Amino acid sequence: MFAHIYLYRLKCIVRDKQVVFWTLLFPILLAVLFEMAFSNITKGEVFKEIKIAVVDNEAFRKDIHFQEALKAVSTEADGSRLFDIRYASKEDCINLLKDGEIEGYIYCENGIHLEIKNNGLNETIIKSFLDDYQQTAATLQTVMAQNPEAMQKGLIDEIAKRKDYLKEVAASHSEPDTAVHYFYTLLAMACMYGSFWGLKEIYAIQGNQSAQGARVCAAPTQKMRAFAASLLAAVTAQAAIILIVLLFLIFALGVDFGNRLAYVVLTCLVGTVAGVTYGTFISILSHKSEGIKVGTLIGTTMLFSFLAGMMYDGMKLIINNNIPILGYLNPVNLIADSFYALYFYSGTTHYSLNLMILAAMAVVFGLITFLVLRRQKYASL
């Protein structure tokens, strides 16, 4: 009996084109749109070498130490470099700066000078480099003048060394990426769209909600067994859908979910159960029409997604700073935050907390559904 109901409910779910569109195709389409919209955000975060020019004059040619210092920061020794340097006459440098082809140019004439056109991050970096070089050069000159013997004892190497006395322990094992948050929220929203299946299954077995449900109730079938089979069918279908969306995000759009995929899949499963039971919960509590219930599910899921930062990533921060409890009551936020915790943090404390709250939510939704559903007679049909 259980298998009979399960298989037929699964058939009904898979053949419901409208809900399949909203649960499967809609998130995929939205993900493609996100990819188109957010690809520039990621590109903007990648550091690009700063284009500068150096006036190739007599004074520069004589300053071998400065030439070496420039060479050290403009060659790709470890795959990255600070400056992309051109050597040219002063006139050419002025023209390059005017045309915006370089951020600034350096010239040596009674010291080292910097000419820039605007003030910005890149200009600050060039300035910092020159200050650092000039400070080190001045230190060395002072030491040479006052204690030339020290130079023989490897002082130059010591000064050139940059030693940090603070050890940086990375909280994350991944690079921060603003765009992934949008995709995580999108996948979380897709999990919550499992609520449509929950709603559909309640309709199929509740005697006071549909004629089909009344027929099921009039049959010699244990209602809880019918409900369990229906719920399992809904979870199976939604889990498969979420897996497809996840694979699409990873392989087609290249969204980075970190390297703990088993946990990601676990989050999707718990999120799916929470989504489906949320649908049964809304459906069982209300006696309104199906349209109103569907509207309620769409409306609340979109609100959850908005508060979790799907439309504006700063919203998550606003909620965290002002009403943190709301973040823990928002299933979309819990799912998305779990993905982010797996991606960004090395530990699993934050992730586990999110997942436990989400699982507790699913249990509460399921329990309330069970308590209402086990009532076997209705006051009205």
State the binding string over 146-185 for other proteins (x if CB under 8 A, else -).
----------------------------------------
Of residues 79, 111, 154, 220, which one binds other proteins by CB under 8 A? 220
Q: Report which DSSP code applies to 172.
A: B
Piece in contact with other proteins (CB under 8 A), picked from 1-9, 65-73, 85-93, 94-102: 1-9
Residues in the chain: 381
Instruction: Answer yes or no: are the C-beta atoms of 74 and 81 closer than 8 Å.
Output: yes
- The correct pick among 65, 98, 215, 288 for binding other proteins (CB under 8 A) is 215
**DSSP secondary-structure letter at 114?**
E
Q: If binding is defined by CB under 8 A, does position 224 make contact with other proteins?
A: no
Taking alpha carbons only, the member of 120, 181, 201 closest to residue 333 is 181
Q: Which is nearer to other proteins, 214 or 359 (CB)?
A: 214
Collapsed DSSP state (helix, strand, coil) of residue 257: coil
**Other CB atoms closer than 10 Å to residue 337's CB: what's the count?**
29
Q: Among 121, 169, 211, 262, which residue sits at the site for other proteins (rule: CB under 8 A)?
A: 211
Contact call for residue 212 and other proteins (CB under 8 A):
yes
Q: What is the dihedral of CA 321, 327, 332, 334, to 10 degrees?
A: 110
Stretch that binds other proteins, among 35-43, 47-55, 212-220, 310-318 (CB under 8 A): 212-220
Q: How far is CA 349 from the centre of its chain?
A: 18
* Residue whose CB is less far from other proteins, 198 or 309: 198
Region of 49-57, 133-141, 209-217, 283-291 interacting with other proteins (CB under 8 A): 209-217
Burial (CB < 10 A; 0-12, 13-18, 19+), residue 100, is: exposed
Query: Which string of x and - marks every residue 349-378 that binds other proteins (by CB under 8 A)?
Result: ---------------------------xxx
Should residue 207 be labelled a site residue for other proteins when binding is judged by CB under 8 A?
A: yes
The two tokens of residue 125 are 């970096």
> Closest distance between other proteins and the C-beta of residue 277, in Å?
22
Residue at 130: amino acid letter:
L
From residue 256, how far is each of 33, 74, 173 by CA, in Å? 17, 31, 12
Q: Count the alpha carbons within 13 Å of 251 in the hemisphere toward its beta carbon.
A: 6
| Cα gap 187→9, rounded to integer Å | 24
- The residue (of 230 and 338) whose beta carbon lies closer to other proteins is 230
Q: Among 32, 33, 150, 219, which residue interacts with other proteins (rule: CB under 8 A)? A: 219
> By rule CB under 8 A, what string of x and - marks binding of each residue 7-36 to other proteins?
-x--xxx-xx--------------------
CA gap 241, 248 in Å, rounded: 11
State which of residues 88, 140, 143, 214 lies at the interface with other proteins (CB under 8 A): 214
What are the residues binding other proteins (CB under 8 A)?
1, 4-5, 8, 11-13, 15-16, 204, 207, 210-212, 214-222, 376-381
